[in-house]
């Protein structure tokens, strides 16, 4: 635990986190800083992006160059950063509303393209920042400000969707498991391609169903018998969600060239760090007369 | 299309050639070949295309204005019409004037019997000729252009060279069959009508075409914008296809490796602008291109670039609107949209080039302005500019210097990304430079941390808006006046109307034209001075509500009373401008 204490005092900013006491976001914050400490992630080698939601406040509490964009749009910004500088470790902090409602289109397409970025999805099954409406992760029957009689919609499953869409690293953790999350983030970052790390994140203020206690009681780790390269098994496991039966760990991991690995222009160093010069276009005049 | 009421042409120095037929059969490439024959013979051309939003079926037509001197517009009259189907004749016969010629496919049941006697008709049995050479239906164009060249004294060898250039990569017999086809067309009409040949495309004596260094190019506005972007060091483009700007992406995509930039097709325009912003955040020179509908989706990212002070170039090619509107037709209805899109205030620079040449330079300049002012720059064009080819000398950008503004890629001590400064511009850096900052869509402090304090809000807002003041002083360009300094009538307009207005001016000696190219910041003082000194003002623009009229009134207090607006998807014609001005 001394590692953890150290991480709380380094790679953080002068700002004091303003999440509700007990919020799962504290765990994700600590785990990220721990991983950053271990791997030396800083503004010279890493960039973080966030969506809008309670999760997005992260940019104010981590000492790494950040882009806090618009609700739902963290993934295209992250993809742009990675294409412009493929030497950077790129992390996107997003929420279940952010990535699965407003930005669901980007979620599917970023997975499909296998951009080499890590999406940390704060899954609290509710809209936290807007004070408690139903989210695409809320279970059927969920009572919230926007669904006073209980939601009649089925939730979306980000793990299943990501695997089906072409993500090459798909994992889940619970916000209380700080050391494990930090290991997982390191593995996700080292993986070449799109990595989804879903964190079950209790919203202590607005979600009284998915509490710390609930996740501590009902989660278990996938063991060695789970073949992480088998897509069908991974899909099957991703759909498991029951009392005492919520799997954690890496569901799916396969090697496949990332988007950036396949673009010839990006093989000669960071695009955004190159000298910008006036180009001679006279070769392009052919065909114009 | 306005009625050609007078049965004479407005400008006898301009010859208008039109080819029309069913969509999907290469009308546009045939027309372009005709324009290139003219170019390679020493003439200036301008072309204008009309087509429905379909890949096949529907009516396609291309008009090419040919002149010994610079020509900037299509005309309402047609001197020579190539009709590959009856519809072409039905839709365009009213444009024919004294002495016009009509070349028609006589195997296609086209009825020319009702045409007035002052129109000369030339039949061409296209199906028979195709059978003769064992060719295919797409060759009808080559045959027709071959025949047209014969009647206009054009050089068939140039057409043959063009055919070689476009089919050269295919099998040799494709070239030879097409060669044979155009030769048969050429010979056929000469045999029957040798006495009707007009010296329109006679190669200009003393002119030699140098394929390696042509003296005149024939790009579209889209191509000019793409060339400008490449010349200006653009390194990242994310463009979702949309008429009329898709050809920007088509022009860029093949050249990425050679010039070292990335073109990316995103999942939608929201993603397009966010990717471009992300790439710029990491140091790339970024651009997007779209039309009004795509820009509606980009509105969100437009202000994001504004508040995060991220440079991005946005090409907005207007078309008939709202919604899907008139997808393949022109309009200037998005002027107010680009000025006001997004909630709240942020500094936006909006340029509106008026022709292909201006489009090239605006495109180059936009990248400098975006980086210098760390804010979005819109280049506002329309279908008429984007898709019309026009003769221009090879672009001269020898004086252009890359200006990335206040930018450091090195690590700085005590760095503050959004530190206030008198000109509103802070020292920018990029992700990966080692300098910590937050590009934050929330209002933020000097480092970028979210901050909602009154003093900070005012400081940051004032700092951002100050950039427009600096830009007005350092970069904004005044309107350009064409025609006599003292005129009885002054036309005020902007964007692509420039071409038809300049053509109209050729026959209106006491009229001048004030051409506005900077929309934001707006050249208030200079424009006010020009308009105050004018004897009579008329405003011309292609939208329903007179958006520029309102903008001028808002900024200068001058209420122009004579407003000529049009919103039928067609560009202005010189004839209707002349008529309007003469009616004053
Ligand atoms: C375009 C847009 N629509 C709506 C909002 C309001 N909004 C802010 S955060 C949010 C939902 C947040 O939910 P989630 O992404 O799950 O984040 P959490 O707060 O739970 O971490 C909404 C709807 C917004 N900022 N922008
Ligand atoms: S509202 Fe919920 S998610 Fe937001 S800070 Fe509070 S506990 Fe965390
Ligand atoms: Mg949430």
Residue from A75, A112, A116, A288 whose CB has the most chain B CBs within 10 Å, to mutate: A288
Please answer yes or no on whether A289 and B271 come within 8 Å at the CB atom: no
Instruction: Quote the ligand 3 centre to A127 CA distance (angstroms).
Output: 4
Residue B479 is given by DSSP the state P
Same domain, B58 and B139: yes
Q: Searching chain A, which residue's CA lies closest to the CA of residue B37?
A: A289
Q: Which ligand is nearest to the CA of A71?
A: 1
Mutate to test the interface with A, among B32, B365, B431, B439 (most CBs of A within 10 A): B431
B409 part of contact set with chain A, CB < 8 Å:
yes
Residues B31 and B164 in one domain: yes
Residues B133 and B27 grouped into a single domain: yes
The whole-angstrom separation of Cα B261 and Cα B237 is 8
Q: Is A149 on the interface with B (CB under 8 A)?
A: no
CB A26 near ligand 2, within 6 Å: no
| Fold (CATH) for A2-286 | Rossmann fold (3.40.50)
pLDDT computed for residue A271 by the predictor: 97
CB-CB neighbours of B343 under 10 Å: 9
Burial (CB count <10 Å: 0-12, 13-18, 19+), residue A70: buried
The verdict on B164 and B227 lying in the same domain is no
Q: Across-strand partners of A221?
A: A248
Q: How far is B436 from chain A (nearest CA, A)?
A: 5
Residues from chain B contacting residue A286 (CB–CB below 8 Å): 211
The DSSP secondary-structure symbol of B220 reads B
Show the domain range for B60.
14-196
Contact status, residue A268 vs residue B262, Cβ threshold 8 Å = no
B387, B403, B433 - which closes a domain: B387
Alpha-carbon distance A242 to nearest alpha carbon in chain B (angstroms): 35
Which chain A residues contact residue B39 at CB under 8 A?
Answer: 289
B234 shares its domain with B380? yes
- Tell which one of A17, A26, A29, A52 to mutate to probe ligand 1, the residue whose CB is within 8 A of the most ligand atoms: A52
Could you give the dihedral angle defined by the CA atoms of residues A205, A207, A210 and A212, in that order, rounded to the nearest 10 degrees?
0
Q: Which pair of structure tokens corresponds to residue B335?
A: 């002027």
The pLDDT of residue A286:
85
- The tokens for B211 are 């394929």
- CB B214 to CB A43 under 8 A? no
Q: What is the DSSP letter of A128?
A: T
Output the pLDDT for position B4.
Answer: 42
E runs forming strands in B224-374: 236-238, 262-264, 286-290, 312-318, 349-351
Tokens encoding B118: 């002052």
The list of chain B residues with pLDDT below 50 reads 1-6
Same domain assignment for residues B169 and B303 = no
A96 Cα to the center of ligand 1, angstroms: 9
**CB contact A113 to B (< 8 Å):** no
Taking Cα atoms as reference points, which of B200, B205, B360, B37 lies closest to residue A289? B37
Nearest to A105 among B40, B232, B267 (CB): B267
Burial B223-262 (b: 16+ CB within 10 A, else e): bbbbbbbbbbbbbbbbbbebbbbbbbbebbeebbeebbbb
User: Which of B22, B27, B189, B191 has the alpha carbon at shortest distance from B121?
Assistant: B189
- B511/B563 same-domain check: yes
The reported pLDDT for the residue numbered B174 is: 87
Q: Do A73 and B274 touch (CB under 8 A)?
A: yes
Please write the tens of the pLDDT for every residue from B165-209: 988 777 778 899 999 999 999 999 999 999 999 999 999 999 999
Q: Which among B324, B359, B387 is the end of a domain?
A: B387
**Structure tokens belonging to residue B314:** 């946005």
The mean per-residue pLDDT over the stretch A69-79 comes to 98
**Measured between alpha carbons, how far is B318 from B380 in angstroms, rounded to an integer?**
7
For residue A137, give every residue at least 6 positions away whose Cβ sits within 8 Å of its Cβ, in sequence order, or none: A96, A100, A123, A124, A125, A126, A155, A156, A158
Q: Any idea what the Cα angle at residue A20 is, between residues A18 and A24, rounded to 5°?
A: 105
CB-based contact B63:B48 (threshold 8 Å): yes
A271 touches chain B (CB under 8 A): yes
Answer yes or no: is pLDDT of A77 > 90. Answer: yes
Number of folded domains in chain B? Answer: 3
Domains of chain A, residue spans = 2-286
* Same-domain check for residues B267 and B325: yes
Classify residue B21: in a domain, yes or no.
Answer: yes
Measured from the Cα of A52, ligand 1's closest atom is 9
Residue B140 vs residues A223, B17, B35, B56, B169: alpha-carbon distances, Å: 70, 17, 17, 16, 21
**How many CB atoms are located within 10 Å of the residue A221 CB?**
12
Report the Cα–Cα distance between both ends of chain A, in Å, rounded: 72
DSSP three-state, residue B392: strand
Cα of A78 vs centre of ligand 2, distance in Å, is: 24
- What pLDDT score does A12 carry? 77
- Ligand 1 atom at minimum distance from A137 CA: 16
Residue whose CA lies nearest to ligand 1 atom number 4: A71
- Assess if residue B566 is contained within a domain: yes
Task: Determine contact: A119 vs chain B, CB below 8 A.
Answer: no
What CATH number did the domain enclosing B506 receive? 3.40.50.920
| Closest ligand, as measured to the CA of A70 | 1
| B228 and B151 belong to one structural domain | no
**Alpha-carbon distance B379 to nearest alpha carbon in chain A (angstroms):** 19
Instruction: Tell me which H or E stretch contains A248.
Output: strand A246-253
CB-based burial label for B73 (10 Å; 0-12, 13-18, 19+): buried
Contact residues, chain B, for A49 at CB < 8 Å? 278
Q: What is the pLDDT of residue B138?
A: 82
Contact B282 A15 (CB under 8 A): no
- Say if B151 falls within a structural domain: yes
- Best residue among A97, A122, A175 to mutate for probing ligand 1's pocket (most ligand atoms within 8 Å of CB) is A97
Q: Helices (DSSP H) in B475-573: which residue ranges?
A: 498-505, 524-532, 547-556
Whether residue B141 sits in one domain with residue B58: yes
Give B118-147 as a DSSP string.
TSEEEEE-HHHHHHHHT--GGGHHHHHHHH
Structure tokens at B571: 């560009």
pLDDT single digits (tens) A100-156: 999 999 999 999 999 999 999 999 999 999 999 999 999 999 999 999 999 999 999
Over residues A228-277, the pLDDT tens digits come to: 999 999 999 999 999 989 999 999 999 999 999 999 999 999 999 999 99
Any idea what the CATH number is for the domain that residue B93 is in? Answer: 3.40.920.10
Q: Which ligand is nearest to the CA of A25?
A: 2
CA distances from B51 to B26, B56, B244 (A): 12, 10, 12
Partner-chain contact A65 B257, CB within 8 Å: no
Residue ending a domain, among B352, B369, B387, is B387
The answer to whether B410 faces chain A, any CB pair under 8 Å, is: no
Ligand 3 centroid–CA A48 distance in Å is 19
Is the Cβ–Cβ distance between A209 and A235 less than 8 Å? no
CB B371 within 8 A of CB B311: yes
Backbone CA torsion sign across B136, B138, B142, B144:
positive
Tell me whether residues B227 and A276 touch, CB distance under 8 A. no
DSSP A229: T
**Whether A49 and B404 lie within 8 Å, measured CB to CB:** no
Same domain, B162 and B259: no
Ligand 1 center–CA A52 separation, angstroms? 5
Handedness of CA A208, A209, A210, A211 (dihedral sign): positive
Distance in Å, alpha carbon of B448 to nearest chain A alpha carbon = 8
Statement to judge: residues B259 and B150 lie in one domain: no
Nearest CA to ligand 1 atom 1: A71
Instruction: Give per-residue pLDDT as tens, B316-352.
Output: 999 999 999 999 999 999 999 999 999 999 999 999 9
Q: Is residue B565 part of a domain?
A: yes
CB B158 within 8 A of CB B41: yes
B433 vs A contacts (CB less than 8 Å):
43-44, 65
In this predicted structure, what is the pLDDT of residue A8?
53
According to the model, what pLDDT value does residue A1 have? 43
Confidence class of residue A9 from pLDDT cuts 50, 70 and 90?
low
Neighbours of B55 (CB within 10 A): 9
| A260-265, long-range: CB < 8 A, 24+ apart | A260/A82, A260/A83, A260/A86, A260/A115, A260/A116, A261/A116, A261/A192, A263/A83, A263/B262, A264/B256, A264/B257, A265/B256, A265/B257, A265/B260, A265/B261, A265/B262
Residue B172 has a pLDDT of: 73
Sign, Cα dihedral of B297, B299, B300, B306: positive
CA dist B562 and B47 (Å) reads 29
Q: Is A170 in the pocket of ligand 2 (CB under 6 A)?
A: no
């Amino acid at each position: 635990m001394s590692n953890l204490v150290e991480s709380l005092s380094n790679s953080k900013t002068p700002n004091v986190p303003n999440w509700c006491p007990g919020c799962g976001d504290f765990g994700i914050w600590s785990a990220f800083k721990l991983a950053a400490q271990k791997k030396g992630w800083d503004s010279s080698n890493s960039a973080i992006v966030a969506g809008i939601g309670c999760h997005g406040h992260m940019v104010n509490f981590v000492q790494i160059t950040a882009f806090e964009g618009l609700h739902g749009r963290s993934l295209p910004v992250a993809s742009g950063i990675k294409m412009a500088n493929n030497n950077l470790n790129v992390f996107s902090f997003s929420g279940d509303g952010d990535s699965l409602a407003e930005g669901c289109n980007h979620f599917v397409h970023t997975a499909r393209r296998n951009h080499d970025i890590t999406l940390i999805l704060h899954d609290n099954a509710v809209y936290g920042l807007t004070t408690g409406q139903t989210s695409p992760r809320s279970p059927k029957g969920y009572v919230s400000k926007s669904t006073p009689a209980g939601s009649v919609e089925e939730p979306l499953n980000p793990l299943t969707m990501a695997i089906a869409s072409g993500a090459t690293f798909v994992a889940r953790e619970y916000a209380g498991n700080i050391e494990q999350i930090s290991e997982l983030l390191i593995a996700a970052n080292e993986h070449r391609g799109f990595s989804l790390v879903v964190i079950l994140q209790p919203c202590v203020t607005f979600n009284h169903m998915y509490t710390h206690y609930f996740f501590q009681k009902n989660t278990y780790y996938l063991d060695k018998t789970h073949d992480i390269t088998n897509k069908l098994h991974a899909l099957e496991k991703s759909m498991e969600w029951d009392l005492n039966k919520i799997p954690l760990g890496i569901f799916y991991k396969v090697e496949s060239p990332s988007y950036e690995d396949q673009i010839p222009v990006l093989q000669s160093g960071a695009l955004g760090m190159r000298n910008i010069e006036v180009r001679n276009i006279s070769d392009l005049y052919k065909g114009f007369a | 299309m306005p009625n050609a009421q007078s049965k004479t042409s407005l400008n006898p120095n301009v010859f208008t050639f039109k080819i029309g037929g069913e969509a999907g059969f290469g009308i546009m490439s045939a027309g372009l070949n005709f324009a290139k024959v003219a170019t390679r013979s020493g003439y200036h051309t301008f072309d204008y295309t009309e087509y429905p939003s379909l890949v096949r079926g529907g009516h396609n037509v291309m008009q090419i204005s040919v002149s010994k001197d610079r020509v900037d517009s299509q005309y309402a009259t047609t001197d020579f019409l190539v009709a590959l189907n009856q519809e072409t004749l039905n839709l365009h016969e009213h444009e024919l004037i004294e002495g016009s010629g009509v070349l028609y496919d006589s195997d296609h049941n086209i009825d020319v019997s009702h045409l007035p006697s002052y129109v000369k008709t030339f039949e061409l049995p296209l199906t028979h000729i195709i059978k003769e050479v064992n060719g295919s239906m797409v060759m009808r164009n080559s045959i027709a252009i071959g025949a047209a060249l014969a009647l206009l004294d054009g050089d068939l060898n140039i057409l043959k060279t063009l055919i070689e250039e476009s089919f050269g990569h295919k099998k040799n017999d494709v070239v030879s069959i097409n060669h044979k086809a155009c030769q048969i067309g050429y010979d056929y009409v000469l045999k029957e009508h040798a006495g009707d040949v007009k010296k329109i495309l006679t190669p200009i004596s003393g002119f030699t075409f140098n394929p390696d260094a042509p003296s005149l190019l024939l790009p579209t506005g889209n191509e000019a914008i793409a060339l400008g972007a490449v010349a200006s060091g653009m390194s990242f483009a994310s463009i979702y296809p949309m008429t009329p700007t898709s050809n920007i992406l088509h022009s860029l995509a093949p050249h990425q490796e050679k010039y070292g930039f990335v073109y990316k097709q995103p999942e939608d325009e929201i993603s397009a602008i966010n990717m471009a912003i992300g790439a710029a955040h990491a140091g790339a020179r970024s651009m997007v291109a779209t039309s009004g509908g795509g820009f509606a989706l980009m509105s969100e990212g437009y202000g994001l670039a504004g508040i995060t002070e991220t440079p991005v170039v946005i090409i907005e090619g207007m078309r008939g609107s709202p919604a899907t509107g008139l997808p393949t037709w022109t309009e200037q209805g998005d002027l107010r949209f680009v000025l006001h899109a997004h909630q709240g205030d942020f500094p936006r620079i909006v340029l509106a080039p008026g022709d292909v040449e201006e489009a090239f330079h605006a495109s180059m300049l936009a990248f400098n302005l975006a980086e210098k002012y760390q804010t979005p720059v819109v280049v506002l064009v329309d279908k008429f500019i984007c898709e019309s080819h026009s003769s221009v000398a090879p672009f001269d950008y020898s004086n252009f210097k890359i200006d990335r503004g206040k930018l450091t890629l090195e690590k700085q001590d005590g760095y503050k990304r959004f530190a206030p400064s008198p000109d509103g511009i802070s020292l920018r850096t990029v992700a990966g430079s080692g300098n910590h900052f937050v590009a934050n869509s929330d209002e933020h402090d000097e480092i970028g941390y979210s901050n909602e304090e009154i003093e900070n809000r005012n400081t940051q807002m004032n700092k951002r808006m100050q950039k427009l003041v600096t830009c007005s002083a350092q970069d904004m360009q005044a309107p350009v006046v064409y025609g006599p300094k003292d005129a009885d009538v002054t036309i005020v307009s902007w964007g692509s109307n420039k071409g038809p207005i300049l053509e109209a001016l050729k026959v209106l000696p006491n009229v001048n034209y004030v051409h506005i190219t900077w929309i934001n910041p707006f050249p208030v003082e200079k424009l006010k001075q020009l308009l105050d000194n004018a004897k009579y003002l008329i405003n011309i623009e292609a939208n329903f509500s007179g958006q520029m009229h309102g903008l001028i009134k808002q900024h200068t207090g001058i209420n122009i009373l004579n407003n000529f607006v049009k919103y039928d998807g067609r560009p202005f014609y010189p004839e209707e401008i002349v008529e309007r001005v003469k009616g004053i």
